[in-house]
A and B are shown apart, each in its own frame.
Chain A
């Protein structure tokens, strides 16, 4: 099967494994061969764990043969972002400072995935300490976008986005503080889900900004994301932000039925200063939702004009607090870009931070009011198309604009409010993917996954693959 096998989604692979039409060992070996071959171009992996992966896959095959099939992710080969702790293994955070860090426990999310029978194939590249959106890493090299290797794969989970787009992992996880799941998912043409804050435990994930951090699936399909959320979600006493809210069967609710769904569209914030091709693709998808029976309503959200400042103050100061000692003691060991951000994060006052949290409540309350009227909000995931590696500015309808400030404009509110947010591919511009974002009410991942499923069903470009990996 070779290349055909690695291109399959988890929903396609799972029945083959369950019915023993393929073995996990064969699948794992094929994915690893493909990943090692392509890593020179893509640089998605920081490290491979072939020996252990093949050993675990053999055990999986024995378990399945004995009738102990654990579910859709049993026997699936996956690499994950290198800021999630594995017991007795190095977790680098893609940094020089933590290059040899070994955790003495598994992150809760890793333990859950091991229990579900996932086969781990290695660790994925990321922006250093997850504090950036380009994945241009000074210690492990830049990850490259499989659709165009001159372009960024987004970040901070850039290795994760690139690995899925290039079929170097069947599915994966990202972490998201201002858009770090959704940005690389959007620019790599895959599905990315940032669940509700508190839905997925962050115990054993190196923090970037405590109150904004999330972990979630990055996958080839909405069904794969829904099934992975079922594996990783749940209350955890080890994480003080974890919430005891029942986990649903997300896959069973993927009907694609839009008849009783009301979709909100905010024109003033989420459709302002957007690349014309991005806007056209997203509006076409909104029309497709309407054609499928959804009711579309315009909503006003004036507090969003403060979102950029609120996100910035919160992330800058919380990240600076985490890295303060190393900024004082060994500043030269940080990459230049994040050292600057840590320095900037030392400048706001405690009053600035706390007033930002007051603004944040106001934004949250405005979203709560909107979700009394609509089931989901839709908007472009990003207002721009991915630029080339090393660029600090990006073209927006003929104007050069700051990359970082613009790329997080539509994803940041999901972190500020903690509300679940999903990106699904909805188009292309010059062979680069475009994503559409669906935001939902707190702990209502089911609705946004179902809306994403409806968008995915009608996307005429579904199944398109980057040329590089053929």
Chain B
């Protein structure tokens, strides 16, 4: 069973205004639609836009 948007937010301690719920629902569905379109992307395991370089991000620069 999928929890509702209201339940997800309330589980994080966030009080959602009732009038926000239909807008949130519509926007979240739009985000999920965009996500579906990324299913055909072939993601490379080593290519990610994050770094963690010991000694700080500027090490060796």
Residues of A within 8 A of B (CB): 211, 237, 240-244, 303, 305-306, 308-309, 312-313, 316, 324, 327-328, 331, 336, 339-340, 343-344, 346-348, 352, 354-355, 357-362, 364-365
Distance in angstroms from A24 CB to nearest chain B CB is: 37
B61 touches A243 (CB 8 A): yes
Given A331-B15, A343-B16, A343-B24, A308 and B34 contact (CB-CB distance below 8 Å): yes
Most buried by A among B24, B41, B50, B61: B41
Contact of A357 among B16, B28, B48, B57 (CB under 8 A): B48
A357 touches B50 (CB 8 A): yes
Tell me what chain B mostly uses at the interface: helix, strand, loop, or mixed: loop
Q: Which residue of B lies closest to A360 (CB)?
A: B49
A-B contact count (CB 8 A): 87
Tell me what chain A mostly uses at the interface: helix, strand, loop, or mixed: helix
Per CB-CB distance, the 7 closest pairs between chain A and chain B, nearest first, are A309-B34, A361-B47, A360-B49, A358-B43, A357-B49, A328-B13, A244-B61
A328 touches B31 (CB 8 A): no
Q: Which residues of B contact A240 (CB under 8 A)?
A: 56-58
B24 touches A362 (CB 8 A): no
20 contacting pairs across A/B (C-beta < 8 A): A240-B58, A243-B61, A303-B41, A305-B37, A308-B34, A309-B31, A309-B34, A312-B31, A312-B34, A313-B31, A316-B31, A328-B12, A331-B15, A331-B17, A340-B23, A344-B28, A346-B9, A358-B47, A361-B44, A361-B49
Q: How many chain B residues touch the partner (CB < 8 A)? A: 30
B35 touches A365 (CB 8 A): no
Contact of B37 among A306, A313, A346 (CB under 8 A): A306
A347 touches B5 (CB 8 A): yes
A362 touches B41 (CB 8 A): yes
A327 touches B56 (CB 8 A): no
Q: Which residues of B contact A346 (CB under 8 A)?
A: 8-9, 12, 14
Docked Cα-Cα span, A327 to B9, in Å, equals 10
Distance in angstroms from A469 CB to nearest chain B CB is: 37
Q: Which residues of B contact A328 (CB under 8 A)?
A: 12-14
Docked Cα-Cα span, A324 to B9, in Å, equals 11
Docked Cα-Cα span, A313 to B35, in Å, equals 9
Docked Cα-Cα span, A109 to B56, in Å, equals 22
Given contacts A305-B37, A309-B31, A328-B13, 10 further A-B contacts (CB under 8 A): A211-B49, A237-B58, A240-B56, A312-B31, A344-B24, A346-B14, A348-B31, A358-B47, A358-B49, A361-B47
Docked Cα-Cα span, A336 to B20, in Å, equals 9
Given A244-B58, A347-B8, A309 and B24 contact (CB-CB distance below 8 Å): no
A365 touches B47 (CB 8 A): yes
Q: Which residue of B lies closest to A305 (CB)?
A: B37
Q: Which residues of A contact B28 (CB under 8 A)?
A: 344, 347
Q: Which residue of A lies closest to B36 (CB)?
A: A309
B12 touches A340 (CB 8 A): no
Q: Which residues of B contact A242 (CB under 8 A)?
A: 58
B47 touches A331 (CB 8 A): no
Q: Which residues of B contact A324 (CB under 8 A)?
A: 12
Q: Which residues of A contact B12 (CB under 8 A)?
A: 324, 328, 346
A354 touches B48 (CB 8 A): yes
Q: Which residue of A lies closest to B27 (CB)?
A: A344
Q: Which residue of B lies closest to A355 (CB)?
A: B43
Distance in angstroms from B43 CB to nearest chain A CB is: 4
